[in-house]
Amino acid sequence: MKNLWNDQAAAKYQGDLGLRVYTSRLLGQDPSLVLHGGGNTSVKINEKNLLGESEDILYVKGSGWDLATIEEPGFSPVRMNHLLKLAQLSSLSDPEMVNELKTQMTRATAPSPSVETILHAILPYKYVDHTHADAVVTITNTPEGLDRVKEIYGDTVVIIPYIMPGFDLARICAEKFAAESHEQTVGMVLMNHGIFSFGDTAQESYDLMIELVGKAEAYLQDNNAAPKNIPANSQNDHDDKVFGKTLANLRYQLAKNVGFPVILSNHREAKYLEFAQRQDLKVISQQGPATPDHVIRTKRIPLLGQNVESYVSDYQAYFKAHAAADHVMLDPIPRVIIDPELGICTAGKTVKAANIVADIYDHTIDVIEGATKLSKYQALSAKDLFAMEYWDLEQAKLRKGGTPPILTGEIALVTGAASGIGKACVDSLLKRGAAVVGLDINPAIETLYERADFMGMVCDVTDEQALIQVLEKTARKFGGLDILILNAGIFPPGCSIAELSGKTWNKVMSINLDANFTLMRESHPFLKLSPNGGRVVVIGSKNVPAPGPGAAAYSASKAALNQLTRVAALEWGKDKIRINSLHPNGVFDTGIWTEDTLANRAQHYGLTVEEYKTNNVLKVEVTSESVGELAVELCTPLFANTTAAQIPIDGGNERVI
């Protein structure tokens, strides 16, 4: 465990709360300590209120903030005097506790205080740090966990048996800490939960956390139970296997049963396959998560059945039975699916949700394997897991819900996505909540966006094998394919038929027609497994209904693609796939239209540049954004009853009309 404290860096943070931010971020940088919003930190500060009265205020990490990136507004200021009085109560329900915490904040805009706020208040130290350190959790999640903790720390830590987070935990901790702490006490271990450190300064509390966790790591090392040095992204020898269609089918079955599309992320790196192929997997994988903080996010971790359909059917039966028996709201998505061939699959309503589960389970694997090497992995009891899963506060979050963007959980593929209309389609899809794969021959596509729900890949669309690999990678990354936007194409320089070379003709046809045919054909098995029905949008051209001289190859290729689209609509309707065409014209904010080109074309027609750009019936400028927005809108439920449509987006062209 490396201590990251740096005097020069710390000097940039002013005041007690500033230093609280600094050390919180240090803890958050290490995923073996906290993951995705886990862990809590606090500081007690005496301040004057608006009336000039001095008050002791507890600044505790607020709900929704991550320690790795937390800022001062991420801490909720709560009046200490009231918290200490609450701690003396014999009982306090979760809803009552939440109300008391919110009404005692000194800043109305602050986030909701942590459910561990009262616990932080009763510890008699200025700074308090709490992490779910992998090493500590590994040790406590064994049958002999209590004895092992005593062996490592002696009487320098107070040990608390597992209690569900909330008021009862704070009350028990207050009693035991008051009875068992002494001058040499430097921490507190919560069995199956994590570890606390504290101090009069931010550095003291942080240093003690690193020291305490370091002792646990050394213990694992001495007992040959330290995590294997296998990077999570290490490759395996069987990565050439094709699982895309199996994953798409699994996602389809999940979505069909839960009633909405989901993201299904596949992980077949060496670490995950090795775990998924353990002989004792059916035992160790079913005992529960490493800490209560992970119960909701990784709940119900099943093994894949004999086939996808039987697995999903069995799981859905389990879900319905528990929901009916317990009269509670349940999130019906199984978070983790383990299979010896597929490896680890993680599911969520969004890419972020699926990735969070993957990160958590990556660390859970380390905890399970470490505890097993010590003796046996023993997580929370079934009773405790049940209590956490149906916790009042968790049920309240499920009920609160909210309306997600219209394409949340859906997966789209866009060709020619690095610029112009293609990029506009990507932007519109991301805005509506879809996960997007963008293809382009331009390497800039790989860094177009640095976000989890976008994957950019360099691809020559005329390479059939490359397209097949793209679909496989898409399925492994997100789980399948729902939306296909065929935008990539070329517009060669004007040339009469008499002067048109066979080489140019063939090149235009290979990109504008043949490549789209191949991608449509290879995408079909995935599109027909789309939970809401597959959708294809073809970016055609005004030249389809109204060709012009000098554009024979381009016009013919787009016309042929348009006819292919119509045939596909007839053939794919039975698979609930709808396919529509857009015919844009005069989209001048794309790469082929430079300022010089625009000026020359405008001069040719005796128009100004602005007149040329709006030379249509409506006198409007057609932009890439307007085309992209309409293309994506065609993929929403608004057009659920439309297929084989040909829609002009040209401001009104007299020849087309």
CB 172 within 8 A of CB 160: yes
pLDDT grade for 553, boundaries at 50, 70 and 90: very high
Higher pLDDT, 414 or 396: 414
The bridge status of strand 343-348 relative to strand 646-649 is: unpaired
Mean pLDDT confidence for 514-530: 98
- Is the pLDDT assigned to residue 331 strictly greater than 60? no
Specify the residue for token string 């300590």. 33
For residue 222, give the DSSP letter: H
- The C-alpha atoms of residue 189 and residue 180 are separated, in whole angstroms, by 13
- The mean-pLDDT minimum among 123-132, 544-553, 584-593 falls in 584-593
- Is the pLDDT assigned to residue 264 strictly greater than 90? yes
- The C-alpha atoms of residue 657 and residue 653 are separated, in whole angstroms, by 6
Which residues are annotated as catalytic? 554
Q: What is the pLDDT of residues 424-436, one digit of tens each?
A: 999 999 999 999 9
Q: Which pLDDT belongs to residue 328?
A: 42
Q: Which pLDDT belongs to residue 296?
A: 45
- Is the pLDDT assigned to residue 280 strictly greater than 80? yes
Mean pLDDT confidence for 114-142: 94
- The C-alpha atoms of residue 375 and residue 3 are separated, in whole angstroms, by 30
**What CA–CA distances, in Å, run from 631 to 28, 352, 589, 644?**
41, 25, 17, 14
- Is the pLDDT assigned to residue 278 strictly greater than 80? yes
Q: What is the pLDDT of residues 79-95, one digit of tens each?
A: 999 999 999 999 998 88
- Is the pLDDT assigned to residue 231 strictly greater than 80? no
CB 624 within 8 A of CB 585: no
CB 56 within 8 A of CB 81: yes
pLDDT grade for 162, boundaries at 50, 70 and 90: confident
Rounded (5°) CA angle 586-592-597: 80
The one-letter code for the residue type at 557 is S
Q: Which pLDDT belongs to residue 239?
A: 61
pLDDT grade for 502, boundaries at 50, 70 and 90: very high
Of the candidates 254, 352, 258, the residue with the CA atom closest to the CA atom of residue 309:
254
- The mean-pLDDT minimum among 7-11, 152-156, 371-375, 388-392 falls in 388-392
Q: Which pLDDT belongs to residue 299?
A: 47
End-to-end CA distance of the chain: 72
- Is the pLDDT assigned to residue 488 strictly greater than 50? yes
- Is the pLDDT assigned to residue 543 strictly greater than 50? yes
DSSP codes of every residue in 100-142: HHHHTBS-TTSPPBPTTHHHHHHS-SSEEEEE--HHHHHHHTS
pLDDT grade for 304, boundaries at 50, 70 and 90: low
Mean pLDDT confidence for 596-603: 84
- Is the pLDDT assigned to residue 330 strictly greater than 50? no
**What CA–CA distances, in Å, run from 367 to 157, 188, 279, 284?**
22, 20, 17, 11
Q: Which pLDDT belongs to residue 54?
A: 95
Q: What is the pLDDT of residues 567-594, one digit of tens each?
A: 999 999 999 999 999 999 999 998 778 7
- Which tokens is 405 given? 């963007």
Entry field: residues in the chain: 657
Q: Which pLDDT belongs to residue 193?
A: 86
Q: Which pLDDT belongs to residue 338?
A: 87
Mean pLDDT confidence for 590-609: 84
Q: What is the pLDDT of residues 184-203, one digit of tens each?
A: 999 999 998 899 999 999 99
- The C-alpha atoms of residue 647 and residue 2 are separated, in whole angstroms, by 61
- The C-alpha atoms of residue 181 and residue 3 are separated, in whole angstroms, by 26
- Is the pLDDT assigned to residue 279 strictly greater than 60? yes
Q: Which pLDDT belongs to residue 393?
A: 56
Q: What is the pLDDT of residues 353-408, one digit of tens each?
A: 899 889 888 998 999 999 999 999 887 765 655 554 445 555 455 455 567 899 99
* Helical H segments across 267-332, by residue range: 270-276, 281-284, 295-298, 308-326
Q: Pick left, alpha or beta for residue 224 (phi over 0 → left; psi -120 to 50 → alpha; otherwise beta).
A: left
Q: Which pLDDT belongs to residue 569?
A: 98
Q: How much of the chain, in percent, has pLDDT values that exceed 70?
A: 88
Q: Which pLDDT belongs to residue 399?
A: 53
pTM of the model: 0.88
Mean pLDDT confidence for 32-52: 90
- Is the pLDDT assigned to residue 323 strictly greater than 50? no
Q: Which pLDDT belongs to residue 390?
A: 46
- Is the pLDDT assigned to residue 147 strictly greater than 50? yes
pLDDT grade for 259, boundaries at 50, 70 and 90: confident
Q: Which pLDDT belongs to residue 309?
A: 53
Q: Which pLDDT belongs to residue 325?
A: 45
Q: Which pLDDT belongs to residue 284?
A: 83
Higher pLDDT, 6 or 322: 6
For residue 386, give the DSSP letter: H
Residue environment code for 391-414, b if the CB has 16+ CB neighbours within 10 A, otherwise e: beebeeeeeeeeeeebbbbbbbbb
Of the candidates 159, 152, 162, the residue with the CA atom closest to the CA atom of residue 217:
152
Residue environment code for 124-155, b if the CB has 16+ CB neighbours within 10 A, otherwise e: ebbbbbbbbbbbbbbbbbbeebeebbeebbee
CB 302 within 8 A of CB 311: yes
- Is the pLDDT assigned to residue 8 strictly greater than 90? yes
pLDDT grade for 307, boundaries at 50, 70 and 90: low
pLDDT grade for 232, boundaries at 50, 70 and 90: low
Of the candidates 539, 525, 519, the residue with the CA atom closest to the CA atom of residue 580:
539
